[in-house]
């Protein structure tokens, strides 16, 4: 059974710092990996989707990489801002085919960016 | 605006009651999903549906039921058989394989 782990569980950084969030998964036969942001008491907002054939995706100050063979993904946030404070979740879809979208989530990294 | 609407935002259930959580999407997505989130844990899949009038159990379906009579609607009923229903419930939809999942704003269910 797929297991997803996120390290660290919590991270506190000063504004302006570049930072890396880590996600690892036990079964490398994934269909895709997605990074989400969750604000307290809210739903999830999709940040980046990396398909299995891709190595990385970029959106603004965010860059996500994927190494399927080692079962790892990283989310790089450049020049962090207080508004980046949230919980960041990674999820893998390892069903594919006719059972797509059955995501397995990590427990998240709680990020705090202080002014 | 296109999106997923969950209602109500907060729901209180008495012991032994069934309650229904609403999820509506106007994104024209084929697939819809229900997840449960507990403090300090990742989301866990309850049920999913990839086509109208068909749905499948996820990892923690016991004590829950769903229906998919319309493409845009996927209500979740939490039955009295669910022994620990207090949690944050999230509905999601996707247009197809290898695409982004879109989530609603969630319903917080509390047993009183």
HEC sequence for A73-101: EEEEECCCCHHHCEEEEEEEECCCHHHCC
Query: What is the pLDDT averaged over residues B11-15?
Result: 91
**pLDDT at A84 > cutoff 90:** yes
Q: What are phi and psi of A101, to 5 degrees?
A: 85, 0
Side-chain half-sphere of B31: how many Cα atoms within 13 Å? 21
Report the run of H or E that residue A110 belongs to, with start and end.
strand A109-114
Task: Look at residue A4 in the predicted model and tell me its pLDDT.
Answer: 97
Which of A102, A70, A72, A76 lies closest to A88 in space, CA to CA?
Answer: A76
Tell me whether A89 touches chain B (CB under 8 Å): yes
Query: What is the pLDDT averaged over residues A37-55?
Result: 95
Based on its alpha-carbon atoms, the radius of gyration of chain A, rounded to whole angstroms, reads: 14
Return d(Cα B83, Cα B70) in angstroms, integer.
29
Number of Cβ within a 10 Å radius of residue A88: 22
Q: How far is B76 from chain A (nearest CA, A)?
A: 17
Q: Which of B42, B56, B105 sits opposite A106 (nearest CB)?
A: B42
- Between the alpha carbon of residue B46 and those of residues A105, B13, B66, B82, the distances in Å are 13, 19, 10, 12
Return d(Cα B51, Cα B31) in angstroms, integer.
6
Task: Look at residue A96 in the predicted model and tell me its pLDDT.
Answer: 61
Q: Which of B42, B48, B108 sits opposite A101 (nearest CB)?
A: B48
Tell me whether B90 touches chain A (CB under 8 Å): yes
Task: Look at residue B40 in the predicted model and tell me its pLDDT.
Answer: 78
**pLDDT at B98 > cutoff 90:** no
Query: What is the pLDDT averaged over residues A69-85?
Result: 97
**pLDDT at A97 > cutoff 70:** no
Q: Do A34 and B101 touch (CB under 8 A)?
A: yes
* B64-66 β-sheet, strand order: B4-7, B19-25, B76-78, B64-66
Per residue, the 3-state secondary structure of chain B, as one string, reads CCCEEEECCEEEECCCCCEEEEEEECCCCCEEEEEEECCCCCCEEEEEEEECCEEEECCCCCCEEECCCECCECCEEECCCCCCCCEEEEEEEECCCCCCCEECCCEEEEEC
Task: Look at residue B1 in the predicted model and tell me its pLDDT.
Answer: 66
Q: Report the mean per-residue pLDDT for chain B.
A: 94
Return d(Cα B74, Cα B91) in angstroms, integer.
8
Q: What is the DSSP letter of A64?
A: E
**pLDDT at A39 > cutoff 90:** yes
């Amino acid at each position: 059974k797929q297991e997803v782990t996120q390290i660290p569980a919590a991270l506190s950084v000063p504004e302006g710092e570049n930072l890396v969030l880590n996600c690892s998964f036990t079964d490398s036969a994934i269909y895709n990996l997605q990074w989400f942001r969750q604000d307290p008491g809210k739903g999830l907002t999709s940040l980046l989707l990396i398909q299995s054939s891709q190595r990385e995706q970029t959106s603004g100050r965010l860059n996500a990489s994927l190494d399927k063979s080692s079962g790892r993904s990283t989310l790089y946030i450049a020049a962090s801002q207080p508004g980046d404070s949230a919980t960041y979740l990674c999820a893998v879809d390892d069903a594919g085919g006719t059972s797509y979208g059955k995501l397995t989530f990590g427990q998240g990294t709680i990020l705090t960016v202080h002014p | 605006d296109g999106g997923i609407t969950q209602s109500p935002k907060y729901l209180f259930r008495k012991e032994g009651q069934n309650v229904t959580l609403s999820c509506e999407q106007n994104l024209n997505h084929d697939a819809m999903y229900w997840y449960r989130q507990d403090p300090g844990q990742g989301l866990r899949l309850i049920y999913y549906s990839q086509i109208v009038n068909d749905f499948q159990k996820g990892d923690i379906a016991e004590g829950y039921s769903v229906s998919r009579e319309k493409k845009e609607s996927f209500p979740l009923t939490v039955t009295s058989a669910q022994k620990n229903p207090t949690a944050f419930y999230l509905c999601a939809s996707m247009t197809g394989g290898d695409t982004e999942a879109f989530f609603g704003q969630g319903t917080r269910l509390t047993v009183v």
